[in-house]
Structure 1
Amino acid sequence: MSRIARGAGAFGLAAVVSFAITAYGQGLWGPLVLANLRLSPAVPWAPPLMALLLAGLLLYLSGRGWPASTSTARRRLLRWNPMPLSTFALAVGSGLLALVAFAGLWIAVSDLVHIPPGVQPSAAGIPLATAIPILLMSSLAAPLSEEAAFRGYAMGLLEKAWGSAPAAIVGSSLLFAAAHFPQGLDAAKLGLYFTAGLLFAAIAYLTNSLYAAMVVHGLGDVIGFTLLWPHDQQAHAMGFGDALFAPALAAIAIFAPLAILAFRRLARASKALRDPRAERPLSPAPVAA
């Protein structure tokens, strides 16, 4: 088999595996939320049920369950590796700087090129005691399942098959963007998701762990739920006619350079974590002394 065919086969396998994981994590949460809101909106039963389902998914992906022959491979692909607390804090801080710049980029793009609004359930008429747990779980379900799917399994499979971390980062980010086509089959919007995928993948690669990437992804979803997606759904003026356009440009100009400097520092601080000779046991805790 040619090298190109093997590479394409690895990309296909990564797509199937990552989409299956995402379909479980995201595909179950959507119907659960709708059922909760239609059947008993005053009782937030969907979030705890989804928490149990996610726990089962992550236990399996971390090597538990059948078949035992794939247990070690599943543990490695999940990339739940510990890191020093200082590195974890630096990774999350770097991601936050990048998120501010990314939020500015999203708003700027939506003010220059019309992008279709995403699918977001309306919170109108939902009791606060139900809305808050649903929002929190919505900000957890995607980071946990999507990081495991794309920055864990897909990126790991591609890096092993292609022998190139940058190529694996790009490949997994393409898959991440493709998985968001239900939010709008639009080149500009999928390009934004691809950019977000690069951000999360860079954190996962530099730290050789999903913990910081999951936190940053979750914070990004909070920004999406509260600012970016509502902005897309509401009619607004384009360009400088939108009150958020100038602040968005300022956010890009200020926070993008700061994020680049922070990521350069993170790359230096986490160099030992990426050493293939440093075999470290997996731990359920995100940080280790």
Structure 2
Amino acid sequence: MRISAQLLPNTPPRGRALAEAALVLFSVFLPANFAVLGRAPLLAATCILFAWGLLLLRPWADWRSGHAGRALVLLLLFSMALGALTASEWFGEAPSPRLGVTHQSVSLQRDGQPAREVVELTRVLPGLPADGLLEVGDRILAVDGQPLSSSDPELDFQKHIREAGGGNSTALRLDIEREGEPREVTVQLGPARKAGLARSGAILWLCLRALGAILLVALLLWRDGQGPAQLGLVRDGLGRELLLGIPVTLGTYAAHIAASVPIAFFGALLKLAGKETLARKEVATALVETGLSVPAFAAAMVLVTGFEEIAFRGFLVPRLRAVLGHWYAAVVVSAVLFGLGHFYQGTLAVFQTAALGAWFGLVFIYRFRLPSVMLAHAAFNTLNFAFMLWLQRSGLLEKLTGQQ
């Protein structure tokens, strides 16, 4: 394998490389995870990231050397980057669950009858529709008079909650068992909770976060004395790299199919197929409900997938190589982290996305150029979106994903 020297100049030492990689990852993932816990945890996470970034960027070094203006610009740009990365969590719409419970599947044994699987509540969230009506330990037997599926009651229960009232606020009648006694409870559900991408203006928030991450990477590169070339972004041979994006896109589909077959097999073996289908349907429905046309979505993907490739391949792979000492190990770790970032699409989607991340990483370290990978990633997402949009408009999306 030819290792290009263009990525290596001014590579930071192992400790700093690890700190920079962690800052970028935590800045992308941490705010959203802390936001669900409330404003105070989100504020704490934001302050930690701000302090962390200052320690790496060291604006006071410029101030002490007589470059006060540069120090202030650096501080301003970093504040803008972190603000863009966390803006959606501070100001974006945060939908609440329709019911507000967590649950598990348990086996219910009645006298003289075979055991059957039912849904048992493990938590009732305060301030949401179920609060005061349902209790931890309640067992859900039927919804609106329809008994839950005995093969996968949790999936059936989720489907009833998600589809009740066509997504509008509605009353839902639950047949439950509480402390061995049957009861009937009517709960007023809130409006349907759509996946993040379907929320009003969410694509704009996603693009803003992408800009924030790109700016953060640029600041770290500048402080290390590096530039776009150390990300694999060079002007020479750009046309050839963009043309190479076509076979890389085809290879992306080949890698996706190759990974999907064994993953689907293990999913069926572990009985995850139903839950994975539900998760995929939520994501697919959310995407088509953004109301974007294919050209508008493609334009957004140029920025969003550009940020992902700059962060996970162009920036993280060389940093992880400095930490781990090997390009292949860096690609694998970066791919795993990339996959974990897509957990919202379902457990199996993590492995599929990690496989794609590994493919993109291998292309990157063999070419040491990023444009072809960026184009392939954007094209892959856009073509999938166009296909889902066609399925939705033809009515096939609901038929294909609605099967139990």
TM-score (ref. length: structure 1): 0.57
Instruction: Look up the SS of the partner of 1:72 in the other structure.
Output: coil
Cα deviation, 1:99-134, whole Å, max 9, x if unaligned, reads: 231343366457543261335263699696x44465
Give the residue type in structure 1 aligned to 2:285. S
Within 5 A, what are the aligned runs for 1:134-149?
135-149=297-311
CA distance in 2, matches of 1:220, 1:171: 22
8 A contact 2:17–2:319 mirrored in 1: yes
Percent identical pairs in the alignment equals 19
What does 1:85-104 correspond to in 2, within 5 Å?
85=238, 87-89=240-242, 91-104=244-257
Seen in structure 2, the aligned counterparts of structure 1 residues 154 and 141 have a Cα distance that, compared at 3 Å, is: same
* Corresponding residue number in structure 2 for 1:120: 283
* Structure with a larger share of its residues in strand: 2
Residue in structure 2 matched with residue 3 of structure 1 by the alignment: none
User: Is the Cα–Cα contact under 8 Å of residues 150 and 172 in structure 1 kept in the other structure?
Assistant: yes
C-alpha displacement at 1:75, in angstroms?
4.2
Indicate whether 1:20 and 2:27 are aligned: yes
Q: Aligned partners of 1:8, 1:189: CA distance in 2, in Å?
A: 32
C-alpha distance in structure 1 between counterparts of 2:318 and 2:244, whole Å: 20
Q: How many pairs were matched up?
A: 221
Match of residue 199 from structure 1 = 359
Q: Which of residues 327, 337, 344 is equivalent to 1:175?
A: 337
More helix, by proportion: 1
Residues 1:154 and 2:154 aligned together: no
Cα displacement (A) at 1:214: 0.8
Q: Distance in 2 between matches of 1:216 and 1:174?
A: 19
Give runs of aligned pairs for residues 1-289 of structure 1, distance below 5 A: 14-21=21-28, 31=92, 54-55=210-211, 57-63=213-219, 70=223, 72-73=225-226, 75=228, 77-85=230-238, 87-89=240-242, 91-105=244-258, 108=261, 112=265, 113=267, 114=273, 116=276, 117-118=279-280, 119-120=282-283, 122=285, 130-132=292-294, 135-184=297-346, 186=347, 188-227=348-387, 234-235=401-402
Whether the aligned pair in 2 keeps the contact of 1:26 and 1:141 (CA below 8 Å) is no
Task: Answer 1 or 2: higher relative contact order, Cα 8 Å, separation at least 6.
Answer: 1
Quick check: 2:342–2:349 contact (8 Å CA) kept in 1? no
Q: Relative to 1, partners in 2 of residues 1:178 and 1:68: Cα closer, same or farther, differing over 3 Å?
A: closer
Gaps of 5+ in 2: 1-12, 32-81, 94-193, 268-272, 392-396
Counterpart CA distance in 1 for 2:28 and 2:226 is 16
Matches of 2:17 and 2:341, distance apart in 1: 17
Distance 2:261 2:196 in 1: 35
Provide TM-score, normalisation by structure 2: 0.43
CA contact (8 A) 2:197 2:203 kept: no
> Structure 1 residues 46 and 13, CA, compared in 2 at 3 Å: closer, same or farther?
closer
